Structure 1
Amino acid sequence: MTAARPYGGVKAGERRAQRRAALLGAAFEIIGAQGLDKLTVGRLCAEAGLNERYYYEHFDGRDAVLSALLDALTEELTTAITEALAENRGADARTVAHAAIAAGVGVLADDPRKGRAAQIIAAATPRTRARTAEAVSSFADLVASSAAGHAGHAGRAGHAASAPAAPLRFRAGYLVGGLVMVLGGWLQGQLPMTREQLIDHTTDIFVLVTSARPAGGPA
């Protein structure tokens, strides 16, 4: 089979990726600014500046678009948080937590349409609700692993950190689930706090809860 030739110096695979990114960006814009009901094939393609055939090149329906948006957002959040953790490796627990929380909040707050769209998409369909629950669980694992790693580094210099124990994993899940709810209210203007206050207070809670000894644990 003959490989697709470059057009304008851009390879076929790159053009396809650019079209997909344009469609997803347009979908975020429409949902964030106008609501989910306005996300139609015609409106999406017009916003992206693409022929409708390119929509069907990537998606077989609106559910597929919503799932792709959620996956893209989860990947962006994961990348931002893991980079913040890596950049602050070796710092004290509060500095690490503050950096990671600021990075995650920044992804949603720097682009208001993205924050609004994320809330709509997360509850849009049974499929996106399930994927949102999976994402929350994944972020909780990340929080628990980071907290366990920091405790291991602080308590046993030169030794590998232990895997997060069940109580820590429970706390991380509780914290992340709570943050999702609080952040949603803040993005909607229901919580009278500045961005810095939100991050600071969230950091305080994360450090307090993840560093406390489990009930019934060793003194």
Structure 2
Amino acid sequence: MADAEQARRVYAGETMSQRIQRRRTTLIDAAIAVVADRGWRQLTVERVCESAGLIRRYFYESFADLDAITEAMIDTVADQLLTLVVRNDLDAPRDELIHTMVGEVVEYGIENPAHVRVLFGEMSSTTAAAQRRLAAIGRIVQILAADGRTIHHADDPMIDLAASLLVNGSTATLLDWLDGKIAISEQQFIDDLAALWLLVTEGAIAQLARRSGPR
């Protein structure tokens, strides 16, 4: 009997839970597209369902309300970016480490411009979305700062300052480049942005050395 019940739950090679997860992912992608194309104020359940090609019942199958899907889409983008920011090769030469990470983030922005706009573009119109977005960006800054402390064997607010400057400044610059406001090639953009990261990093290291040196 249990086997028969399980068989009824499998459709087109997917279990019920797999179908729910697929619809949830489709709705999140649709919500990201709506915000990127129309802005946060135009995000509604109806528009998300229309973009996803799903009925409202499937929306409420995964999300209690608009705030819930807003939080899910922000978390999705932040998690994807964190996979690029978190490095396992912290012993690599600093310039190589920075260039690789910057290149991967820029490539992500090229392939997923809507995702970048959701997390770093126009400010969201609801308090829940704004708070979630600030928290997501904060997680990325904290990861970079933690790596800085590990690499430089230091614990100083300068590291947090540099991480915040690099994350917030670079993402705004990436959006400007994607919008055509900075007229340089992809490779030059990556090379120059990585060079600026290196300058900020080395400047922060020098400041830390001066701070800890003889007074």
**Deviation beyond 6 Å, 4+ runs, structure 1:** none
Q: Structure 2 regions of 5+ residues with no counterpart?
A: none
TM-score, length-scaled by structure 2 = 0.81
Deviation for aligned residue 1:52: 1.2
Q: Which amino acid counterpart does residue 43 of structure 2 have in structure 1?
A: L
Residue 179 of structure 2 corresponds to residue 179 of structure 1:
no
Between 109-118 and 133-142, the greater mean CA deviation after superposition: 109-118
Deviation for aligned residue 1:94: 0.8
Once the two structures are superposed, residues 52-88 of structure 1 have per-residue CA deviations (whole angstroms, 9 ceiling, x without a partner) of: 1010112232222222111100000001222xx22x4
Tell me: higher relative CO, structure 1 or 2? Use CA pairs within 8 A at least 6 residues apart: 2
Task: Return the structure number with greater helix share.
Answer: 2
- How many corresponding residue pairs? 205
1:158 corresponding residue in structure 2: none
Decide whether the 8 Å contact of 2:119 with 2:133 is kept in 1: no
Taking the aligned partners of 1:149 and 1:195, their CA distance within structure 2 comes to 31
Decide whether the 8 Å contact of 2:85 with 2:140 is kept in 1: no
Once the two structures are superposed, residues 97-153 of structure 1 have per-residue CA deviations (whole angstroms, 9 ceiling, x without a partner) of: 1111222222222123333344456533222222222222222222222233333xx
Once the two structures are superposed, residues 13-46 of structure 1 have per-residue CA deviations (whole angstroms, 9 ceiling, x without a partner) of: 2111101001111122222234344433233223
Between 53-62 and 209-218, the greater mean CA deviation after superposition: 209-218
Instruction: Select 1:207's aligned residue among 179, 185, 198.
Output: 198
1:138 corresponding residue in structure 2: 139
Residue 179 of structure 2 corresponds to residue 192 of structure 1:
no
Q: Structure 1 regions of 5+ residues with no counterpart?
A: 152-161
Residue 117 of structure 2 corresponds to residue 116 of structure 1:
yes
Percent identity at matched positions?
26
Q: Which amino acid counterpart does residue 22 of structure 2 have in structure 1?
A: Q
Q: Which amino acid counterpart does residue 57 of structure 1 have in structure 2?
A: E
Decide whether the 8 Å contact of 1:97 with 1:207 is kept in 2: yes
Residue 165 of structure 2 corresponds to residue 170 of structure 1:
no
Decide whether the 8 Å contact of 1:136 with 1:173 is kept in 2: no
Instruction: Select 2:21's aligned residue among 17, 21, 41.
Output: 17
1:102 corresponding residue in structure 2: 103
1:50 corresponding residue in structure 2: 54
